Amino acid sequence: MLLVPAVALVGVALAGPPGKTGKTGKAATRPAHPEVDRVEACDACHTDATPQVVTEWLAGKHGMNNVKCFVCHGSVGADFVLRAPAERCIGCHAEQVASLGHPALAGKDCFSCHPPHLLSPHRLLGAGAGGAQ
């Protein structure tokens, strides 16, 4: 298991927007993307619209295990968040999220150390995508 809380000194600290996890509500009737019509997943268009994002996602653990865009980014429209708050990670990474409460990690979020989309564990920083896992 390499998905350990390997949080290093590297990276830039950026605070994410406030989380929405726990806000409850009903199914969205019509997403803000006018062309999105409840039919396909985000990558159907974003493979062309943001190819690097999709490529990195596919190369990482999330892509391999079908943890899709909305798990981190929320739904479309008002529910969309650009930089996922840590609360959105606790479903699978509760210990790691809890470690953010440590004074040593003040001001950091998951992406301070784990590159977004690829989300490689630390030890792979600089070692290229999908390395020795």
Partner 1 sequence: MTTISRRSFLEATAAASAVAGLGGLPGVRQALAATGRGGETWVKSVCRYCGTGCGLFIGVRDGKVFAVRGDKDNHNDGFLCLKGFLLPQILYASDRCLHPWVRKDGKLVRTSWDEAMSLVAARFRESIEKYGPDSVAFYGSGQGLTEETYCANKLFKAGIRTNNVEGNPRLCMASAVGGYVTTFGKDEPMGCYEDIDHADVFLLIGSNTAEAHPIVFQRVVRRKEAKRDVRVIVIDPRRTPTSRIADLHISFTPGNDLAILNAMAHVLLKEGLVDEGFIAKHLAFGEGAEVNKSWEDYKAFLADYTPEKAASIASCTAEEVITAARWFGERGKAAMSMWTMGLNQRTKGVWANNLVHNLHLITGKIGTPGNTPFSLTGQPNACGGVRDGGALSHLLPYGRLIANDGHRAEMEKLWGVPEGTLKPKPGLATVDMFRALESGDIKCLYIMCTNPGQSLPNVTRYRKAMEKADSFVVVSEAFHPTRTSELADVVLPAALWAEKDGVYGCAERRYQLLEQAIPPAGEARPDFAILCDLAARLGHGKLLPFKTPADAWAEILTLCKGTAYDFTGMTRESLRSSHGLLWPLPAPGHPGTRWRYVKGDDPLVPADHPERILFYGRPDKRAVVWLRPQKPPEEVPDAEYPYFFTTGREIEHWHTATMTRNCRELANTNLESMAQLHPADATRLGLRTGAPVRITSRRGSQVFRTKVSDGARQGVVFVHMHDADRMCNVITIDAVDPGSKQPEFKVCAVKLEKA
Partner 2 sequence: MVVAGVVIETQAGKAPEVAERLAASGRVRVEGGDGDRRLAAVVSAATGAELERWAEVLLRTDVMVLGVFPTFVGEDEE
Give contact residues for partner 1 (rule: CB under 8 A). 1, 5, 21-22, 24-28, 31, 36-42, 64-68, 70-71, 74-76, 79, 87, 90-95, 98-99, 101-104, 133
Residue 126, binding choice from partner 2, partner 1, none, Cβ under 5 to 8 Å by partner class? partner 2
Query: CA-CA distance, 77 to 25, in Å (whole number)?
Result: 14
Given the complex with partner 1, which of 24 and 52 has the nearer CB atom? 24
Among 5, 16, 116, 130, binds partner 2 (CB under 8 A): 5
Query: CA-CA distance, 44 to 121, in Å (whole number)?
Result: 27
Given the complex with partner 2, which of 10 and 28 has the nearer CB atom? 10
Q: Residue by residue, what is the 3-state secondary structure of 16-73?
A: CCCCCCCCCCCCCCCCCCCCCCCCCCCHHHHHHHCHHHHHHHHHCHHHHCCCCHHHHH
**DSSP state, 126?**
T
Shortest Cβ 78–partner 1 spacing (Å): 10
Among 35, 65, 101, 104, binds partner 2 (CB under 8 A): 104
